[in-house]
Amino acid sequence: MRLITLLTYILMYQFVGCQTQTTPEAKSERTESAYIVGNQIPFDGCEESVRLETSASATPIRYKPTSASLPILQKALGNDNQGEKSVTIRFRETGNQVELLCGWGAKPKVGEIEILELTAR
């Protein structure tokens, strides 16, 4: 009887021990040419975001900065917080999809990034 009980505990331990949880994996650091866009909600645009520079035929790739790295973007925009600026950005994708608040209640899902550094081009 003890042998059966022992084997049961071993099997349960192995079963529970083999369970894994998957979480979004943060990607490695990247440096790209991009445009940073200020808060354009008052003009039916979107809140602060980053748009990677792509070819004319490709759909632009937009990202929303994390709340912790948003001040970096706002500082780079300076007094023109509702404008757009050409920059070189060093960032890391968080692996999360978040809502980007836009005018007329639109909330497209975009990738979230942690901005590490912005330099003017």
User: Residue 20 pLDDT > 90, yes or no?
Assistant: no
- Comparing 5-14, 55-64, 105-114, the range with the smallest average pLDDT is 5-14
The C-alpha atoms of residue 108 and residue 101 are separated, in whole angstroms, by: 7
Residue 87 makes CB contacts below 8 A (sequence gap 6+) with 33, 34, 35, 36, 76, 118, 119, 120, 121
Query: Could you give the residue ranges of the DSSP H alpha helices within the chain?
Result: 2-17, 70-77
Is pLDDT at 16 greater than 50 in this prediction? no
What is the C-alpha to C-alpha distance for residues 90 and 73, in angstroms, rounded to an integer?
Answer: 12
Q: Tens digit of pLDDT for each residue in 45-94?
A: 999 999 997 776 678 899 999 999 999 999 999 887 778 999 999 999 99
pTM above 0.85, yes or no: no
